Amino acid sequence: MSFDGTWQVVSGKLGTDSIPLPATTLRIAGDRYTVASAEGHDTGKLTWGGDQAQPTVDLIGMTGEHRGLTILALARVKGDQMQLCYAVDGGVRPPSFAVRPGSAVVTVRYRRVTRDPS
């Protein structure tokens, strides 16, 4: 399963509530990522883990607002749709995509707009 490519934000949720997100592009190339939006630009490293049934990813901020932070996320891809699920406070990785109402967990849905050759 390849996550490489350019992805655009489609929607976001905090807990089970929809939240507005700025137009954002996420580019993944192997173990590197770049996030760009009107609110800023971040780059960093990715450490993939888990298994095919439940991939995990650690996003390690190198520049921008998330520099020095590590975000522990769940990931899933179905076709050209991807979801990332992580704790807002940078805490522990959520155990699943089944998020409880009122929880401090963000789920962001992306659509792949380009696929980088592997």
pTM for the model: 0.88
Q: What pLDDT sits at residue 11?
A: 96
Q: Smallest Cα–Cα separation from 46: which of 25, 23, 30, 68?
A: 30
State which residues form the domain around 36: 5-113
Q: What pLDDT sits at residue 18?
A: 95
Tokens at 51, concatenated: 């298994």
Q: What pLDDT sits at residue 51?
A: 87
Is 50 contained in some domain? yes
Is 101 contained in some domain? yes
Is 44 contained in some domain? yes
CATH number at residue 75: 2.40.128.320
Is 118 contained in some domain? no
Tokens at 16, concatenated: 């089970």
Q: Which residue shows structure tokens 């934000």?
A: 9
1 pLDDT above the threshold of 90:
no
Q: What pLDDT sits at residue 53?
A: 86
What average pLDDT does the structure give for the chain?
91
Tokens at 42, concatenated: 């971040």
Neighbouring-strand partners of residue 86: 73, 106
Q: What pLDDT sits at residue 57?
A: 93
Q: Which residue shows structure tokens 């993939």?
A: 48
Q: Which residue shows structure tokens 């993944």?
A: 28
**Percent of the chain surpassing pLDDT 90:** 72
118 pLDDT above the threshold of 60:
no
Domain count, the chain: 1
Give the pLDDT confidence of 31-84 residue by residue, as tens digits.
999 999 988 899 999 999 998 889 999 999 999 888 999 999 999 999 899 999
Tokens at 8, concatenated: 């655009």
Is 68 contained in some domain? yes
